[in-house]
Structure 1
């Protein structure tokens, strides 16, 4: 009797080991690439990525496991997007990664469009423009738009010459620009804009190639720009975001249960990251103030002055770029902005 029980126990153990081995073999490991250091205190995108890894593996019972690659370890923005288009992987891309595939993305960056976080989140979570854009991106490039990831709040102006409280304060200043749309915005205020890679921004500001730039407080801290910038203007210029994208064929190949579990994990990871990001905005501003920056908080009239100059110039730039008006109309309606004068 004892021998029989031991035999059955041994068989059960063997079957259990085989099941575990099969489960391990069934697990799919997916690369997730993104920008910035793996530092939760300084990089909101890393906070999202680590939450996503934990939640995806938990919700899918480890049928999907994520391998994180911070600091652009898998290549440049363009290289990582190409990898995502052609292989089963995930990527958190910036405007530089997504806009070459669908430049209608620039419509989402119309300056001074959102009053606060809630307005921006509703625009991307519920709006017709964003859903239409996501469908277009999938059709053109074979990548699914899975989430809009906050990377540190709203963009602010910084410079090392004088406080900026109104558009005329820009006159004659030189600004580092991320892309041509920012050049157009600076020029509308009477400044000049020069595209400078992010990796060269600190030195450009230190040597005087540029007097200023715009980024959310998180990135100003991350790059130690407070060492070479004296003034911080919290003008809520644009919502600072990046984009979780995934290979369309990979996601379509999952069964419905697995896909639902994955998307639930994405939604929860994004909510956690949003809460963490918003909770740190004021402490980041306080950090920059303690580091010696003068903080300027424009009142409603001053913000309106920025908007009345910056928005028409940006809309004109979109038109010159050949963006179809229907995209702009959808976005403005979703944002509750009505018609803007160009």
Structure 2
């Protein structure tokens, strides 16, 4: 018992030292708390919505704490790739914005939030994450498993939508025989439910894969279609609201516990307000993105209500079957579907 108590004391002393940025001779007794925030992507707020979130979060946290909190930004995976950054935020003070690639190895149930065609629009997705029982339970379970807290769902570009270079896709039957780039096995299951096939291709190789015909199409938010210049090698864009495109702000649990109530409130309120600002910015950007893509030769297809229903009815059973194969308990699926008024 003494050993465990001493370990706890030492860990908390180290935590306090790290948060204060260390003490140097001649430094003031009470220094500002510097917290590292790491994430993927460029440090260009116009091209990378995650960086836009980080900039706003930094500004708000520093303002709300009266300068007691200082957020240091590390874009472009400067502190490591997904797995490394998650390990860091689990074991030491800091913040990380993680994609599904960072969250899923620790909490596979996160894939439930990506059930295809679950949200009719952005407002429905926001309601799901702001008030839904699935997300409240997910945050609690994730904290239990990882000693971290999920502080925000960071919108990174609206919804994923289909593109391809063969033919307009308006309904599931238009997929037959096409080859699509997939990011993970769940997307392969999605394409197969439409009669297409999925091939894993890294983002860095996607442009050439589309250009050379290794695959016919892919799915991404409009911001990524522009960022990757995919409009140069794709002709058709289908606005199907496939999956909500998001990442997750993760905070070390002991860091939060050791903060003053004032600083902790400043951090959580900053996360909430930066989330709202990102949503507003992306809603405006969506219109501009579509105008840009149309002006650069893409044909934009908007499925009607019946077509969207057909997409959902074809894709959701296959995706949910894939979730079950990952040993994800049915109660997580039920919670999510109930939150959005669906049932299978």
How far off its partner does 1:316 sit?
A: 1.0
1-side partners of 2:40 and 2:341: how far apart? Answer: 32
Q: Is the aligned partner of 1:333 residue 2:338?
A: yes
Aligned partner of 1:22 in structure 2 is 28
Give CA-to-partner distance per residue, 1:203-259, whole Å, 9 cap, x none. Answer: 211121111110010110111111111110000001110000011111111121211
The within-5 A match list for 1:287-302 is 287-302=292-307
2:105 corresponds, among 94, 97, 100, to 100
2-side partners of 1:214 and 1:234: how far apart? Answer: 10
1:262 corresponds, among 249, 267, 291, to 267
Residue range with higher mean Cα deviation, 175-184 or 200-209: 200-209
2-side partners of 1:259 and 1:273: how far apart? Answer: 21
2-side partners of 1:49 and 1:70: how far apart? Answer: 9
Query: Helix, strand or coil: the match of 1:22?
Result: coil
1:187 corresponds, among 185, 188, 192, to 192
The within-5 A match list for 1:119-268 is 119-268=124-273
How far off its partner does 1:22 sit?
A: 2.4
Aligned partner of 2:316 in structure 1 is 311
2-side partners of 1:99 and 1:87: how far apart? Answer: 20
**How many positions carry a matched residue from both structures?**
319
Aligned partner of 2:59 in structure 1 is 54
Residue range with higher mean Cα deviation, 199-208 or 48-57: 199-208
How far off its partner does 1:187 sit?
A: 0.5
2-side partners of 1:315 and 1:189: how far apart? Answer: 15
2-side partners of 1:97 and 1:277: how far apart? Answer: 23
Name stretches of at least 5 consecutive residues in structure 1 with no aligned partner. Answer: 1-19
Q: Normalising by structure 1, report the TM-score.
A: 0.91
Give CA-to-partner distance per residue, 1:258-311, whole Å, 9 cap, x none. Answer: 111211111111111111111111110111111111110111111111111011
Aligned partner of 2:327 in structure 1 is 322
How far off its partner does 1:122 sit?
A: 0.8
Name stretches of at least 5 consecutive residues in structure 2 with no aligned partner. Answer: 1-25
1-side partners of 2:96 and 2:338: how far apart? Answer: 29
Q: Which runs of 4+ in 1 moved over 6 A?
A: none
